[in-house]
Amino acid sequence: MTFPTPLLDTRLAREKEKNEADRQRLLSSALEWLQTHGATYGITHGYIFGSVVEPGRFTQTSDIDIAVDTWKTGDICGLMGYLSLHLNRDVDVVPLDQCHFADKIRRIGMPWSVNDSLDSPQKLTDSGD
């Protein structure tokens, strides 16, 4: 037996819209922070991956996942801390040379480089399809 749930449906639709707006805002903020401050931590390129780059998967409790090829020794925790404070969200930084699924991250993650333009609309909206 089914019954209509218009109030619940409306609430869930609003929550989905808010999550998507938060995802795009946080992705943009993370990219901007990496462009501005990444070199301080020895990072010139890497990948953003996980739910923050996949429309429809990001929730209120999602974190930001960043994979890096290079960084200054000992600064991974500092990078995670500063990014978490800036974004007001948990951030995981994964050194690719220590990651057993690095090839998958390189294949499906959103590449990032200090040479990238932040004005690219594809960077924020591309679902990878």
- Let me know if residue 5 belongs to a domain: no
Residue 29 pLDDT: 96
pLDDT score for 121: 41
Q: Is 90:98 a contact under the CB 8 Å cutoff?
A: no
41: containing domain: 13-113
What pLDDT score does 122 carry? 46
Nearest Cα neighbor of 86 from 30, 36, 25, 40 is 30
Closest CA to 99 of 109, 88, 89: 109
Question: Residue type for 76, please?
Answer: I
Segments in the chain below pLDDT 70:
73-74, 117-129
Among residues 78, 12, 4, which one has the least CA distance to residue 43? 78
For residue 31, the domain's CATH number is 3.30.460.10
C-alpha span between 8 and 115 (Å, rounded): 45
Model pLDDT, residue 71: 79
Give pLDDT, residue 117: 63
- At 33 the pLDDT is 92
* Digit-coded pLDDT (tens) for 27-64: 999 999 999 988 888 888 999 999 999 999 999 999 99
The answer to whether position 62 is within a domain reads: yes
d(CA 37, CA 22): 22
Q: Count of domains in the chain?
A: 1
pLDDT of residue 44: 87
